Structure 1
Amino acid sequence: MPQKTKQTPMMEQYLGIKANYPDAFLFYRLGDFYELFNDDAIKASQLLEVTLTSRNRNADEPIPMCGVPYHAAKGYIDTLIEKGYKVAICEQVEDPKKAVGMVKREVVQLITPGTAMDSKSIDAKTNNYLAALMTTPTNQFHLAYVDLSTGELKTTELTSLEEVMNELMSLKTKEVVFKEAMDLEIQEKLKTTLGIMVSTQNDSIESAEFSYLTDDIGNKDLIGVVKLLLSYLYVTQKRNLGHLQKVEVYLPTNYLKMDHYSKHNLELVSSIRTGQKKGTLLWLLDETKTAMGGRLLKQWIDKPLIKEQAIIMRQNIVESLINHFFERTDLNEALTRVYDLERLAGRVAFGNVNGRDLIQLKTSLLQIPQLIDIIQLMNKGEWDKLLTELDQVPEVVELIDQAIHDDTPLSIKEGGIIKDGFNEQLDTYRDAMRNGKKWITQLEAEEKAATGIKNLKIGYNRIFGYYIEITKANLAILPEGRYERKQTLANAERFITPALKEKETLILEAEEKSMTLEYNLFTEVRETIKQYIERLQKLAKTVAAIDVLQSFATVSEKYHYTRPLMVANSQEIHLIEGRHPVVEKVLGQQTYVPNSVEMTQDNEILLITGPNMSGKSTYMRQLALTVIMAQMGCFVPADKATMPIFDQIFTRIGAADDLIAGQSTFMVEMMEANEALRYASKNSLILFDEIGRGTATYDGMALAEAIIEYIHEEVHAKTLFSTHYHELTVLDERLSGLKNIHVGAVEEEGELVFLHKMLPGPADKSYGIQVAKLAGLPDALLSRATVILEQLEQKEAVVMNHSVTSEIPTLENTKELTDDGQLSLFGMLEGSEAEIVRAVRKTNLLTMTPLEALNCISEWQQKLN
């Protein structure tokens, strides 16, 4: 058996550390580079497009190796994190001068997709969530999540894996932590279905800090999942987590509930077509001026309110802002000067804040008195709560103002951060440096005069320190023994004097000590500000809320929205001349055709017919978006609006499949319909677009009719149901809560013209061929389709006419001879059998529901038996 190659002490150290981080790239610090070895090097060289070399290249088994410069490492780390990998940062943790043998190294931080704080991929207006999940023996799910950059920490209890996946997708979580070897099937499903990184944390760490964060939670299971999450953060980040906020426990039922499919279908934060923000409700509503306001707006869109009083409080403030244009303008200008207080506070606590961050913090806090003054001018009571939460934190402003230069450099270790007058010892060092350099300038002038050498100069470099330089052409006139020779160059000689050497020692000592002292003073300032983290975070939340509310006011005024009257426990909708807010923004207010939505207490279902492309889906989405905007506290796109408060929205709009899970478009359609039918209440809103079109015509029609009946008889939710099955429009004759409406369209000189206006009653036909003509299909094809359609309509007319108008035969006049002279079967029937045959002949199956047909067959069977 071949001998294993003996490793060098350095490689032994590397391999020992790497063994503890098998699923991460280990960035191992060597001088001015981070080095990667073995498989890490091979894979990283491909991902980062850096050169792959080798260590001990002349050995039998050279070690693959690649590296990135220390000063540029952040960009490379960000790239790996964005691609879904982990990076372990390994640094020297002892002074090399004092080390015995190998310098001790340790991993000082494990950066993962869920713990990245300032990656270039993280948008300022986007949260970066890390989640933890635990299950109970009773199949309950406990979820906790945190944004490490802001300190936001929340937890909730969920009842199904579907709810868990819905919540994770809404949060756009990049990483989920489990206990090791627990819930392996769920782990695999999250990895394969959602593409989420799964991490494990076996040990739950106990600390006073964690207990403080969770002491308001009564549920021990929720405490357990939060501690799992915090333990993972503690192990990976290896630093203070003092900026984490106390855990907020929430229930999904406290907000307007929408599953991920509904949010996707309604394009709340990302476009179905592009996946981008443009063309979404977020795009429309985002007039926020701060990063934290932008993040809060997303959260409000994701979780609209269901408490009437909370909605009204937001509406009151929006109305106040609309009524005070000039004050709102001043407010917005002040908000533009507020930096990201949440993430600045997080950076302070995390220990990676620099001088410029502190100046941004001071600048932000200096806007708070102005915000207070502006709000007081508008306040008639609706602003009282927010005003009390606008904490100016003057202690932090004063400290930064006294300590930190306004034009501070980025580096915190090279001086120039602390103001003169802040620390007496630092002032002494600076005085020595300034006077020393002034003395050197004077010495240079004196030596020029004394020697007569006009190009004599006194310079400095890090190796030789200060020196007097004289060109070789002038050496002849230099008085003998005046200077002590120090260095010879090609064209000059460098000298030193005892006085210059003494002054050099003083200056360099002052520079070195002043930089060390400045760094220590800066960290003291940072540690002092840490004491105010909780106040800064509360202030950040308040400013963010003000920012979102002014955004609502700005959008509402710009697009002429109206304040909706919210009536809890109502079953009526009166949305007069409503508009789809996003489509209206794209098309322009002059082009968009408004439509009303009116549903009374007794009208539960609107059955919508009309041609494709006419606006049925837009009409349905219009109502859903209006509901969401209203329950966020925003004004709505309508001339007048009286609305109930909905508890849930369910949608089935547009074609979608889930090929990863092996589900067809029709299966997804049925699953989404099932969600609504199972969980909707009378206070819910259901939007069903073309249910049943994914299967055969009669199957689809039967399902559509049965679903409508079920909603009408069992669910009683407000429902908009669009369909091309015109046969369903007769349902209004026997379903009292159903009303037919249609999108108007007319033919002018053979051309189809959409009116985009909702009219009462059913549509007269589908106009499918005319829509195909608009799409540009060949004329010959369209002509053939027209002929086929006429033939089909004639056949249907014959069948319908025969079934309705044919004389009902009797036993005597139905005795007919067959071709061989025998009586036909019908002619031989007697009594109840003949009666049943007559009933079959009379029955029009096209007007019956599947359930009615089954009942008829059952009655006939009973008579025959």
Structure 2
Amino acid sequence: MTDASALESKPVPSAAGATPALAQWFVAKAAHPDALIFFRMGDFFEMLFGDAEVASAALDIALSYRGEHQGEKVPLCGVPAHAYESYLARLIRRGFRVAICDQMETPEEQKRRKAPTIRREVVRLVTPGTVTEEALLEAARPAWLLALAPAGDRLGAAWLDVTTGAFGTESLPAADLTSLLARLEPAEILAPEALARGAALASLAERIAHLDPPRDGIRRVTEAFGVATLDGFGAFAPEEITAAAMAVDYVRLTQAGALPRLAPPVPTGGRGLLQMDGATRRSLEILRSERGDPRHSLLGAVDRTVTPAGARELAARLASPLADPAPIAARHDAVGFLLAADAVRAALRAALKGAPDMARALARLSLDRFAPRDLGAIREGLARAEAMA
């Protein structure tokens, strides 16, 4: 049994007879049955019942008991609220989804309301494909959320990175799914249950969230971008729009109704890209060695980037090699110019070295989940851009 699937085997007791605070936990758990509930209690986030048993084993922290519910002791474990991100990162990397149920008022406000307990609500659902915290992200790699919508013998695919706003779509033969998966290496996959049971996704069960495609995909996507039509973004197959709507809906769900700053979806159609299956990619060791080590890969051998955004762009270009001569020649011309212009190249590298990750700082800002360092990153990034202009 895998770490995340262990949660499914833990029954949730009835809420009958729960204390006011415990009743809030049951409401959160009913809304997110497949997630661990981080339940704020003062200076700690606590996990209860089966969540506590699973999380204590995954995090190697003490399992204790407090009080009773329906005549049984309540299993409990907790992590300090001021350091919760490090524990959250460990759980996300092991395939768990975590619902953050936070306190929405102070004890003084509770007293003024004469309420039996502090009001708590789920403020976000943290999943592998929707994280924004630096501690949970790999600076040099995108965190793709991939949505898949079946349409006969074809699939609509939409992938977005909530940390940078990048958003792409494609309509492809269902048989080409393994190639797409190998190219994107998504952090999380959205798929209807029937598709998730297929051979192409069987080995990726822990990365999959079951989600049925919506019937009104066009309306959902146009509303998300505040436009009347998608014509200005390009030509989309119906299944691409459906997949894009799945991705947008899921991001809204995980962010308590909010959407990060997203670029308009780009219908790529796989045009101009060299098509390779997963086995070919693994044998070429493009992004990581056959043992999974990125240091001993093609990327590790050629990466001389000095910014996180540059590292992500290089990885994306290596993972999606061009097949058309014209854009290949354009890239060669750009490389040739910089190789010949030693002074320009040195000045650009000096200006870029240590530049902050503005894209991810902007994403946190757009979700109202920013820290002072994110504002500092934007200030520093703009200053460096002005210096290079």
Shorter chain as denominator, the TM-score bin is 0.7 to 0.9
Deviation at 1:223, TM superposition (A): 1.3
**Partner of residue 175, structure 1:** 188
Q: How far, CA to CA, are the matches of 2:118 and 2:22 in structure 1?
A: 12
Q: SS state of the match for residue 296, structure 2?
A: coil
**Gap regions ≥5 residues in structure 1:** 373-865
Q: Does 1:312 align with 2:326?
A: no
Give the counterpart of 2:178 among 151, 165, 171: 165
Q: CA RMSD in A?
A: 2.4
Q: How far, CA to CA, are the matches of 1:209 and 1:5 in structure 2?
A: 40
Q: How far, CA to CA, are the matches of 1:48 and 1:249 in structure 2?
A: 41
C-alpha contact 2:144 2:186 (8 A) present in aligned 1? yes
User: 1:331/1:200 Cα in 2 relative to 1: closer, same or farther (>3 Å)?
Assistant: same
C-alpha contact 1:270 1:280 (8 A) present in aligned 2? yes
Q: SS state of the match for residue 367, structure 1?
A: helix
Q: Does 1:34 align with 2:48?
A: no
Deviation at 1:283, TM superposition (A): 1.5
Q: Does 1:24 align with 2:35?
A: yes
Please say which structure displays the higher CA radius of gyration: 1
C-alpha contact 1:150 1:342 (8 A) present in aligned 2? yes
Q: SS state of the match for residue 209, structure 1?
A: helix
C-alpha contact 1:32 1:70 (8 A) present in aligned 2? yes
Written as runs of structure 1 = structure 2, the 5 A alignment for 1:774-785 is none
Q: How far, CA to CA, are the matches of 1:281 and 1:54 in structure 2?
A: 51
User: Which residue identity is paired with 2:81?
Assistant: Y
**Partner of residue 4, structure 2:** none
Deviation at 1:297, TM superposition (A): 0.5
User: Which residue identity is paired with 1:246?
Assistant: P
C-alpha contact 1:41 1:65 (8 A) present in aligned 2? yes
Offset from partner CA, 1:468-501 (integer Å, 9 cap, x none): xxxxxxxxxxxxxxxxxxxxxxxxxxxxxxxxxx
C-alpha contact 1:133 1:177 (8 A) present in aligned 2? yes
Give the counterpart of 1:230 among 248, 260, 274: 248
Q: How far, CA to CA, are the matches of 1:333 and 1:132 in structure 2?
A: 39
Under a length normalisation based on structure 2, what TM-score does the superposition of the two structures give?
A: 0.86
**Partner of residue 151, structure 1:** 165
Q: Does 1:98 align with 2:123?
A: no
**Partner of residue 284, structure 2:** 266
Q: How far, CA to CA, are the matches of 1:282 and 1:240 in structure 2?
A: 35
Q: How far, CA to CA, are the matches of 1:91 and 1:106 in structure 2?
A: 6
**Partner of residue 138, structure 2:** 123
C-alpha contact 1:173 1:196 (8 A) present in aligned 2? no
Deviation at 1:334, TM superposition (A): 0.5
**Partner of residue 861, structure 1:** none
User: 1:145/1:79 Cα in 2 relative to 1: closer, same or farther (>3 Å)?
Assistant: same
User: 1:214/1:237 Cα in 2 relative to 1: closer, same or farther (>3 Å)?
Assistant: farther
Q: SS state of the match for residue 62, structure 2?
A: coil
Deviation at 1:160, TM superposition (A): 2.2
Give the counterpart of 1:192 among 172, 177, 202: 202
Deviation at 1:14, TM superposition (A): 1.5
Written as runs of structure 1 = structure 2, the 5 A alignment for 1:544-623 is none
Q: How far, CA to CA, are the matches of 2:25 and 2:260 in structure 1?
A: 31
User: 1:191/1:35 Cα in 2 relative to 1: closer, same or farther (>3 Å)?
Assistant: farther
User: Which residue identity is paired with 1:335?
Assistant: L
Deviation at 1:308, TM superposition (A): 2.3
Give the counterpart of 2:66 among 46, 51, 55: 55
User: Which residue identity is paired with 1:155?
Assistant: T
C-alpha contact 1:282 1:298 (8 A) present in aligned 2? yes
Written as runs of structure 1 = structure 2, the 5 A alignment for 1:408-423 is none
Q: SS state of the match for residue 68, structure 1?
A: strand
Q: How far, CA to CA, are the matches of 2:213 and 2:153 in structure 1?
A: 22
**Partner of residue 11, structure 2:** none
User: 1:57/1:295 Cα in 2 relative to 1: closer, same or farther (>3 Å)?
Assistant: same
C-alpha contact 1:37 1:66 (8 A) present in aligned 2? yes
**Partner of residue 208, structure 1:** 223
- Number of aligned positions between the proteins: 364
**Gap regions ≥5 residues in structure 2:** 1-13
Give the counterpart of 1:252 among 250, 270, 275: 270
User: 1:121/1:170 Cα in 2 relative to 1: closer, same or farther (>3 Å)?
Assistant: farther
User: 1:240/1:19 Cα in 2 relative to 1: closer, same or farther (>3 Å)?
Assistant: closer
**Partner of residue 347, structure 1:** 364
Q: How far, CA to CA, are the matches of 1:173 and 1:230 in structure 2?
A: 16
Q: SS state of the match for residue 65, structure 2?
A: strand
User: 1:271/1:323 Cα in 2 relative to 1: closer, same or farther (>3 Å)?
Assistant: same
Under a length normalisation based on structure 1, what TM-score does the superposition of the two structures give?
A: 0.40
Divergent runs of 4+, >6 A:
none
Q: SS state of the match for residue 27, structure 1?
A: strand
Q: How far, CA to CA, are the matches of 1:14 and 1:25 in structure 2?
A: 11
Higher relative contact order (CA 8 A, sep 6+): 2
Offset from partner CA, 1:643-679 (integer Å, 9 cap, x none): xxxxxxxxxxxxxxxxxxxxxxxxxxxxxxxxxxxxx
Deviation at 1:101, TM superposition (A): 3.0
Q: How far, CA to CA, are the matches of 1:295 and 1:74 in structure 2?
A: 23
Deviation at 1:41, TM superposition (A): 0.8
User: Which residue identity is paired with 1:351?
Assistant: D
Give the counterpart of 2:147 among 132, 138, 151: 132
Q: Does 1:364 align with 2:385?
A: no
Deviation at 1:203, TM superposition (A): 7.7
User: 1:168/1:119 Cα in 2 relative to 1: closer, same or farther (>3 Å)?
Assistant: farther
Deviation at 1:171, TM superposition (A): 1.3
User: Which residue identity is paired with 2:202?
Assistant: T
Q: How far, CA to CA, are the matches of 2:197 and 2:162 in structure 1?
A: 22
Offset from partner CA, 1:132-177 (integer Å, 9 cap, x none): 11111x311011111111111111011123x112211321113211
Deviation at 1:296, TM superposition (A): 0.6
User: Which residue identity is paired with 1:286?
Assistant: D
